[in-house]
C-alpha cells in the first residue's frame, strides 16, 4: 500500500465506525464527545476569565502607577541635582516628569486616626494620570490661592467619615522630626501640619484605603526635605515605546536607580494571577483527562465488538500498524468533534459575557459589574494541545489490545 492509502483507508474505516449505527458504542462515543466538549469549553472560559482579571488588575493599578517610575536602588530618597536633571532631559519620549516625595504619616480627623501613605507631588501631577477621570467627589486641584488641599481615596473617606472642604475640622498629619534625640512628648517629637480635603478619588480599594495626595511644598515641609525626592514618575509620549524609553533611562542613570515600568511596579500581583491561571489550567487538563476515560472505554469496546471485521482486514493483509491507526483515528475523531464544539461553545459564552455581562461579580465596586473576560488565541492553542496529547494517550492502549486479541484468535 502507498503512504496515502495507509492513511485514507484507516480514516475511511474509522469514519464508518464513528458515524454508523445506534449501538452502545455510538452512545459511549456521544458521551465521550459531550465530556470533551464541556471540559474544553470550561477550560477556555476559565482561562479567558483569568486574562480578564489580569487586564483588570493592570488597568486598576495604572490609575496610580506611572508608565515608568525612577527610585533609588538604595535608601529611601535621593538628591535631585542639576546633573541628574540634565541626564533626564536628554531622554527622548519623556512627555511628563513628575517629582514625588512620599512616606508614612499619622492622619488625625476629629477623634479618629490612621497611619497612611502621604504622597507629595509637583504641579504637573494631574497631567501625568489624567486624574480627573478618577475623581468622584470634590475638586482635583491641590493648591488654590496658595491654600493646600488633600486628595484622599474613597475607602479612606468612608473609613474615617471624612468631609470634603470642611473648614471647621481640618485634617492633622503628623510625622517624626528628623532629630537624633528621642522625646516622649509627641508635641516635641513630631511635626504636624493642617490641611483640608479637596476631593475624593476612586481607583483600587487597597490603594484608596491607604493613600493621600498633597502638594509638594506641603509634603517637603512636613517631611523636612530640602532637595530630596523619593521618586520620579514619567509618562511616555504616545509615539514612543515604554520599554525603549525605560532602557534609555537605565543606561543613563546606571545602578544607582531602579527604573520600572508599570507592570514591574505591580509584578507580585500580576505574577500571582499568572501562577493561579497556570495551576487552574493544569487542574482542568486533569479534568479533561478524566473525560478521556470515556474515549478509552469506547475504543476498548469497539475493539471487542469489531473483532470479526478486524480479522477480515488482517486476512486481507492489514498490518498491526494499520489497525492501530484505525483506532487512533477513531479516538481523534471523537476528540476533534468534542473539542470543536467545546471551543465554539466557550468562545460564544466569552463573547456573550463581554457584551452582555451575564455573570455578575456580586459586588458594587464602582469600576466593573461583571466578570471580565479576554479571549487569547494562545489559550485555544494550549487547550487544543492538551486535547491532542490526552486523546493520543487514551487511544494507544485500546488500539494495541485490539490487535493482540485478533492475533491470538487467529493463531
Per residue in 107-123, pLDDT tens? 999 989 999 999 999 99
169-185 confidence digits (pLDDT tens): 999 999 998 765 656 66
As given in the structure block, the three cell numbers for residue 316 are 486481507
DSSP H or E run through 198 = strand 190-201
In whole angstroms, give the CA distance from residue 137 to residue 155: 13
- Band (pLDDT 50/70/90 cuts) for residue 345 is very high
- For residues 136 and 202, the answer to whether their CB atoms sit within 8 Å is yes
Please tell me the least confidently modeled range out of 148-162, 183-197, 210-224: 183-197
Instruction: Return the closest-CA partner of residue 105 out of 228, 165, 195, 205.
Output: 195
- Phi and psi dihedrals of 260, rounded to 5? -120, 140
- Residue from 251, 154, 130, 273 nearest 205 by CA: 154
Closest CA to 137 of 149, 127, 120: 149
Q: How many Cα atoms sit within 13 Å of 14 on the Cβ side?
A: 24
**Span 303-332, average pLDDT:** 79
Query: Which of 365, 270, 265, 364 shows the shortest CA–CA distance to 64?
Result: 265
For residue 221, give every residue at least 6 positions away whose Cβ sits within 8 Å of its Cβ, in sequence order, or none: 193
All structural domains of the chain with their residue ranges: 3-61+269-409, 68-264
Residues with Cβ within 8 Å of 6's Cβ and at least 6 positions away in sequence, in order, are 322, 325
Amino acid at each position: 500500500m502507498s503512504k496515502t492509502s495507509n492513511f485514507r483507508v484507516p480514516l475511511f474505516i474509522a469514519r464508518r465506525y464513528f458515524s454508523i449505527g445506534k449501538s452502545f458504542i455510538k452512545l459511549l462515543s456521544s458521551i465521550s464527545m459531550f465530556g470533551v466538549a464541556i471540559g474544553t469549553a470550561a477550560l477556555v472560559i476559565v482561562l479567558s476569565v483569568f486574562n480578564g482579571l489580569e487586564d483588570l488588575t493592570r488597568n486598576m493599578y495604572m490609575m496610580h502607577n506611572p508608565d515608568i517610575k525612577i527610585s533609588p536602588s538604595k535608601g529611601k530618597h535621593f538628591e535631585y541635582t542639576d546633573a541628574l536633571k540634565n541626564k533626564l532631559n536628554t531622554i527622548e519620549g519623556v512627555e511628563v516628569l513628575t517629582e514625588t516625595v512620599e512616606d508614612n504619616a499619622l492622619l488625625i480627623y476629629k477623634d479618629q486616626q490612621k497611619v497612611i501613605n502621604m504622597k507629595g507631588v509637583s504641579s504637573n501631577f494631574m497631567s501625568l494620570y489624567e486624574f480627573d477621570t478618577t475623581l468622584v467627589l470634590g475638586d482635583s486641584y491641590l493648591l488654590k490661592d496658595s491654600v493646600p488641599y488633600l486628595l484622599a481615596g474613597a475607602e479612606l473617606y468612608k473609613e474615617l467619615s471624612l468631609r470634603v472642604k470642611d473648614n471647621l475640622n481640618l485634617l492633622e498629619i503628623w510625622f517624626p522630626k528628623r532629630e537624633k534625640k528621642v522625646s516622649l512628648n509627641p508635641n516635641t517629637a513630631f511635626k504636624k501640619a493642617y490641611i483640608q480635603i479637596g476631593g475624593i478619588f476612586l481607583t483600587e480599594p487597597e490603594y484608596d484605603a491607604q493613600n493621600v495626595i498633597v502638594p509638594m511644598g506641603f509634603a517637603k515641609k512636613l517631611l523636612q526635605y530640602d532637595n530630596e525626592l523619593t521618586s520620579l514618575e514619567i509618562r511616555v509620549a504616545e509615539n514612543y515605546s515604554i520599554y525603549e524609553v525605560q532602557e534609555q533611562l537605565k543606561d543613563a542613570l546606571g545602578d544607582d536607580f531602579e527604573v520600572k515600568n508599570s507592570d514591574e511596579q505591580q509584578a507580585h500581583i500580576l505574577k500571582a494571577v499568572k501562577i493561579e491561571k497556570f495551576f487552574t489550567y493544569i487542574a482542568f487538563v486533569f479534568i479533561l483527562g478524566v473525560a478521556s476515560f470515556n474515549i478509552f472505554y469506547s475504543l476498548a469496546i469497539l475493539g471487542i465488538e469489531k473483532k470479526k471485521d478486524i480479522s477480515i482486514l488482517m486476512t486481507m493483509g492489514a498490518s498491526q500498524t494499520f489497525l492501530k491507526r484505525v483506532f487512533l483515528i477513531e479516538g481523534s475523531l471523537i476528540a476533534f468533534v468534542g473539542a470543536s464544539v467545546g471551543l465554539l461553545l466557550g468562545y460564544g459564552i466569552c463573547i456573550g459575557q463581554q457584551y452582555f455581562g451575564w455573570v455578575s461579580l456580586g459586588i458594587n465596586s464602582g469600576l466593573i459589574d461583571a466578570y471580565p473576560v479576554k479571549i487569547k488565541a494562545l489559550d485555544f492553542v494550549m487547550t487544543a494541545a492538551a486535547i491532542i496529547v490526552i486523546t493520543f494517550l487514551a487511544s494507544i492502549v485500546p488500539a494495541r489490545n485490539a490487535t493482540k486479541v485478533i492475533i491470538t484468535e487467529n493463531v
